[in-house]
Structure 1
């Protein structure tokens, strides 16, 4: 009730614990705070906050149009209502090395547990589109070094994403991952892998955990957690899944209302009022309010 009951520091320590464990963990993408609460209540280990989903929810393409301020505010709202660790998409860090360091501190202050930075040029593109361009390895090393030096909580996770597989090939992307790890990355995010063997090659090449992006309609097949775990993956994200589920249902519902003039046939598919109130712990807010505002003139005569 009234948000998360654990501190940001505790959630960061939990993220470190998960990454250091021997089990694969799942971080579905949350498009808003209520979504994050449902992720926690369903039993997942963490929450992912996608830049692509956030951009889409603003009616914008995923090409780096959202600002640090907007993303941090979005992340703060989500991190504030869940006891799960939160990993946020920080794109290219919103500038040069000093900007990246400040980005980490802003995200720390917002209560996030970690962030990933990518090696694309600005303006960036969705990781599963063609035509991506990457900066030099040296430039990305500066980004990761700045991120690692900028954090104040050593448990804040710095993840390095490489989009080099598409344009430079697998071996070059692995070489980049090694350099990013040496620069201070705690987690490697190889984007748009073609098959399980490529995830496995990354996992064998670096001594930090590997993240797999299981986004729909992308370059990667939708592998199961067991398949990914066998390939050496420690963390799997589903960045836009909840947005796509919601938008599909909304589109169907709007068409039904337009065609029939009523939403009656849609009601069985909806979250009920009771389920919503349970998800947001409505009763606990009522109890809290009643316990605080119990003043009456009779009691003070």
Structure 2
């Protein structure tokens, strides 16, 4: 079942900030922070799971189990990237049903041609708007829970211009999308134009080093946005920390740099070892005393 808190947040016009998660370490850390939503990033999940570029290589089968593990391991509502729905209309229906059953509260679908490319990278091409509108309609019909949210993304801005991207956003809203995601506007003025033109909760994609300016939450809300995702923040930070730690080990021949990082005791707590130890202690005592209760 989808978590109704996320849909309620949009209804109450509370701005939603969603950090990107890509594995269970990032998911557990973000889940403890008190965010209203977490975002399963396609780029980060494909990179961490398969070690590949987010270029349409990962399949539904590659992603759904990974997405489900993260969603079930979090108390926070989760929205997950599902690329193009992994095919045509029948694939979209199957994907929506599978992601919803996996425990996410929302799914993101995009209007790129297959194989898709990562947003903010060159060479992205889009399918006709009417074809994507059918995907949105199928997605809305396929969901079982009305609290399950459909995020419709258009990548038209980069190749077809802002006006076409806005037109598509309106079409996808009319087709039944709950949240509209116009990918990679290139200025604050463009973001303002999107906010004025589309009457639906809008998602801003804050990618460090991407095409869109990084703006504070208050400014995004003033421009008409209801939500911001930060898909890369986690895996960029993790990669930088790993690079520093491994470089120190190679150069110095020891792991003293780890003292500056998360700490083994904190990691064992994060992964639930205290509960495991308590379980083992309790049942060891029961075995020793012959307690059958």
Structure 1 length-normalised TM: 0.91
- Name the counterpart of 1:42: 33
Deviations 1:71-99 (A, max 9, x none): 11111111111111101111000111111
1:62-73 aligned at under 5 Å gives the runs 62-73=54-65
Distance 1:101 1:260, change over 3 A: same
Q: Give the conservation status (yes or no) of the 8 Å contact 1:32–1:78.
A: yes
Q: Which runs of 5+ in 2 are unaligned?
A: none
Root-mean-square deviation (CA, aligned residues, Å) is: 1.6
Asked if 1:157 is matched to 2:149, the reply is: yes
Q: CA shift at 1:242, angstroms?
A: 0.7
User: Between Structure 1 and Structure 2, how many residues are aligned?
Assistant: 290
1:18-37 aligned at under 5 Å gives the runs 18-37=9-28
- Identify the match of residue 244 of structure 1 among 236, 249, 261: 236
Structure 2 length-normalised TM: 0.94
- Identify the match of residue 17 of structure 1 among 8, 19, 22: 8
Distance 1:263 1:296, change over 3 A: closer
Q: Give the conservation status (yes or no) of the 8 Å contact 1:197–1:231.
A: no
Q: CA shift at 1:282, angstroms?
A: 2.7
Q: CA shift at 1:291, angstroms?
A: 4.5
Distance 1:299 1:96, change over 3 A: closer
Q: Which runs of 5+ in 1 are unaligned?
A: 1-7
Q: Give the conservation status (yes or no) of the 8 Å contact 1:55–1:61.
A: yes
Secondary structure of 1:29 counterpart: strand
Q: CA shift at 1:297, angstroms?
A: 5.4
Alpha-carbon distance between aligned partners in 1 of 2:28 and 2:166, rounded to the nearest angstrom: 36
1:138-157 aligned at under 5 Å gives the runs 138-157=130-149
Q: CA shift at 1:102, angstroms?
A: 0.8
- Identify the match of residue 216 of structure 2 among 203, 212, 224: 224
Alpha-carbon distance between aligned partners in 2 of 1:183 and 1:289, rounded to the nearest angstrom: 53
Runs of 4+ in 1 over 6 A off after TM superposition: none
